[in-house]
Structure 1
Amino acid sequence: MKVKLSLTAAWLIIIPAICMTSCSSNNAGIPYPDPAPDSIPRVFLPGIVSKDGLDFNASFSADGKTFYFSRSCNRKYVIYETVYKDNKWQPETVSSLFDSSYSNTDPFVAPDNALYFISNRPKDKSDTTGDYDIYRMAKQGNAYSAPEYLAGVNSDSTEYYVSVARSGNIYFASYHDGNLDLFMSKKTATGYEEPANLGGLINSVFDEHDPMIAPDESFLVFTSTRSDGFGEADLYITHKTNSQWGNPTNLGVGINTKTYEYCPYLTPDGKYFFYSSENEVKWVSSNVLK
């Protein structure tokens, strides 16, 4: 998510209240609420994930039984979770995995089960900047390690929204070059390479942020405020051919609206596409990306 202190934009897509206790499972073990959406987006778990305020972002745990999302609370971002128990998704609670004395948001569970997020927590005792940086918590048995500041990825400016490919390559947004652009940092045996700007076909004079990389890095979905959109900001998709990214395509009026669409997310089984819109979390069949 592009963090805005004005709290004017944050959304996700959700499902009707009828499906809170009736769920269907899949071969990835995620107990999706019924009825599942097709090509028409639904709001996801209204009354639990989307309420009266600003709720956004989406990520399932590795076992599919915990759903993480973000909420604006008293001008601070807090990561919540809802757990599937007793055949239904339980009321949301503040996730105990994150130090809520700081502002934390944009959780993402990577293919290796590590949990990434951004936070304005100081990287060390001398850090007084208050900007948002990317942190990682490795999965250790049934628990997570302490947050690790990604020194090879973060810059002196704010970093936004994390998406990690199966290779370990990390995609994110940053003001690193002065404009809000998309970057990729390649995972190596010793850490991460210097972040690379994704280039002129993807990045523009407008804001680009909130990347969602396909597990095999074959396509990328992101938010942009470019002038050919339908609203304040739209979701776009670009495909990679012969190691080169193609021209981004607007995902269209079925997804984008007159407001702000952001926080794209693909479920671990590849069946559903989540995103945020008009203070809600929405989901739809991943066929809309084909």
Structure 2
Amino acid sequence: MNKILSISLIIATFFSCKNNPISYFDQDPPSTIPKLFAPSMVNTDNIELNVVFNYDHTEMFFSRIVDSSFVIHHSELINGKWSDIKPIKMYNDNVLFSVACDPTITKDGKTMYFLGVDPELYENDVTREELYRIPPDIYKSKKVDGKWELASKVDFSVSTEYIETYPVVTADGSLYFRSNRPSSEGGMQTYRAQYLGNEKFETPVIINTRTEKKELITYVSPDEQYAITNGEGKFQITFNHDGEWTKPEEIPLKYESNWRYYCPYMSSDGKYFIYSRRYNNPEKKGWAGVEKGEVYWVNADVLFNTKSN
């Protein structure tokens, strides 16, 4: 076999593998018009948010509010079929109310980071409103022998006494997140913590994407070449040029009033943009007033057609 033919076969094999259809619970993929993700399975009469897949698309995660607790649920792709959706236990049995949401999975599929609330900070008779006012931290769970273990807080340089939200792990294990810890910039900022190995991180540094509209990163691609921000209730996209992030440009979706759009993520093949939205009772603020929560997906063209760089 000559060298040119051999290379051609390798390339053909590569693209053949890459183009194999990925299973999304037997759903027809969306166009550039968003639609509900997995109705009756993920989207139900409960409040659901943040659908996330692992890197090799063999496990799917999302959060659901159950009896006033945020509970991470998952399904696994086994022999070509998705298993029944089940909750993941993150805290001890004595924790009656809990927060576990916004999961993000490392490239090897063995570590999950998520937004959590320290169960030791409140009594078991805490109200739903009080629970949602406690500053969240970033937790992690390890997958051992096919089972997700009870969670523990990420090291002190990432999880502090201040607010930490929206953890997103990159391909090299580093973490992006948002925090209102004291800084020269003041207020809520996007941080990046370089992963050092052995579950340790460098001191987080501020990532400057903030503009007059206060857009902050809530998703970053595994290779850190682009990120999705939130500002004024809408999504924006920004691109990384040699460490400098471009001015965020609005992602053109039909944003409806009284709905808050949040929890942006990308499918593991990069073809679909997945996001959450929630409806708030206009007379109530925060999660205590949320009456409906849904997860949508849409073709990723809506993101990259805004690219002007």
TM-score (norm 1): 0.75
- Mapped to 1, the partners of 2:49 and 2:207 lie a distance apart of 25
Alignment partners' CA distance in 1, 2:137 and 2:294: 24
CA–CA distance in structure 2, aligned partners of residues 280 and 130 of structure 1: 24
> Which segment is superposed worse, 212-221 or 88-97?
88-97
Which of 191, 201, 205 in structure 2 is aligned with 1:192? Answer: 201
Q: Does the CA-based 8 Å contact 1:174-1:182 persist in structure 2?
A: yes
- Structure 1 residue ranges without an equivalent (≥5): 1-24, 226-232
Rounded Cα–Cα distance in structure 2 between residues aligned with 1:57 and 1:38: 20
1:156 equivalent in structure 2: 161
Aligned AA (1:172): F
Residues 1:219 and 2:226 aligned together: yes
Indicate the residue corresponding to 2:101 in structure 1: 105
| Residue in structure 2 matched with residue 131 of structure 1 by the alignment | 135
Whichever residue aligns with residue 179 of structure 1, its letter is G
Which letter does structure 1 place at the counterpart of 2:147?
A
Q: Does 1:59 align with 2:52?
A: yes
1:30–1:65: 8 Å Cα contact kept in structure 2? no
Relative to structure 1, is the Cα distance of residues 35 and 209 closer, same or farther in structure 2, using a 3 angstrom cutoff? Answer: same
**Counterpart in the other structure of 2:146:** 142
Q: Which residue of 2 aligns with 1:180?
A: 188
CA distance in 2, matches of 1:109, 1:140: 14
SS in structure 1 opposite 2:50?
strand
Q: Which moved more, 1:205-214 or 1:271-280?
A: 205-214
Give CA deviations for 1:169-190 in whole Å, capped at 9, x if unaligned: 2111112235232211111246
Quote the offset at 1:282 in angstroms. Answer: 0.6
SS of residue in 1 equivalent to 2:297? strand
Change (3 A) 1:216 1:62: closer
Deviation of 1:27 after TM superposition, in Å, equals 4.2
- Report how many aligned residue pairs link the two structures: 253
Contact 2:168–2:220, Cα closer than 8 Å, also in 1? yes
When residues 140 and 53 of structure 1 are mapped into structure 2, their CA distance, relative to the original with a 3 A threshold, is: closer
Aligned twin of 2:62: 69
Tell me, which stretches of 5 or more residues in structure 2 are unaligned?
A: 1-17, 123-132, 279-292, 305-309
Q: In 1, Cα distance between the equivalents of 2:25 and 2:271?
A: 11
Distance across 1 between alignment mates of 2:58 and 2:267: 13
Is the 8 Å Cα contact of residues 25 and 38 (structure 2) preserved in structure 1? Answer: no
Flag the 1:32–1:210 CA change in 2: closer, same or farther, 3 A. farther
Q: Does 1:94 align with 2:87?
A: yes
Amino acid corresponding to residue 150 of structure 1 in structure 2: V
Residue number in structure 1 paired with 2:171: 166
Cα shift readout 1:108-141 (whole Å, capped 9, x = no counterpart): 112131211121124799xxx9531111223444
Q: Percent identity?
A: 26
Distance 1:54 1:213, change over 3 A: same
Coordinate RMSD, CA, aligned: 3.0
Partner of 2:282: none
CA distance in 1, matches of 2:214, 2:85: 32
Corresponding residue of 1:14: none
CA contact (8 A) 1:41 1:283 kept: yes
Which whole-Å CA distance do the structure 1 matches of 2:64 and 2:217 have between them?
16
Higher relative contact order structure (alpha carbons within 8 Å, sequence separation ≥ 6): 1
Alignment map for 1:7-46 (pairs within 5 Å): 27=20, 30-46=23-39
How big is the shift at 1:88?
A: 5.9
